[in-house]
Amino acid sequence: MKETLTFDFCDMSIYDHYVVVVMKEGVDITPDHNEVLVQVTETYYKDTPFIYITHRVNSYSVDPQIYFKTSQIENLKGFAVVSDDYKAKVNAQIEKIFFNKPFEIFGELEEAFAWAETLIK
């Protein structure tokens, strides 16, 4: 891991080819929050392909409109949701509709890491 970033709405762990994000409990993720993601990717992954991994250990809501903007990040190669919660996985299936790049749902972080490595190669 390169670095850990802490924001009022999430914690981000920066790796060479993926970022792992843990949102804080009860947050409503809006397009404004997405701007922070864009800034982080421009800083850490300027010319590097990467995968966004959201580790859903807390309950929060996401405005599906953010996926349209997130999909436009050119070097973003995929999006992974990691959760062992049934409701979070069902919500992720709905969110997947709004994202036009590879989008997978996993039960364990290690599965998401392995998937990310295959996308980057």
What domains sit in the chain, N to C, each tagged with a CATH number? Answer: 3-115 (3.30.750.24)
Query: What pLDDT shows up at residue 37?
Result: 83
- State phi, psi for 2 to the nearest 5 degrees: -80, -50
Residue 20: is its pLDDT beyond 90?
yes
What would the two tokens of residue 80 be?
Answer: 């992974």
pLDDT at res. 70: 87
Average pLDDT rounded to a whole number, residues 3-13: 96
Helix or strand or coil: residue 82? strand
pLDDT value, residue 9: 95
Mean of pLDDT over the chain: 92
With a cut of 90, say whether residue 56 has pLDDT above it: yes
Three-class SS state of 61: strand
Instruction: Report d(CA 112, CA 118) in Å as an integer.
Output: 10
At residue 72 the predicted structure's pLDDT band, cuts being 50, 70 and 90, is: confident
CA distance 24 to 31: 16
Residue 84 pLDDT grade (very low, low, confident, very high; cuts 50, 70, 90): very high
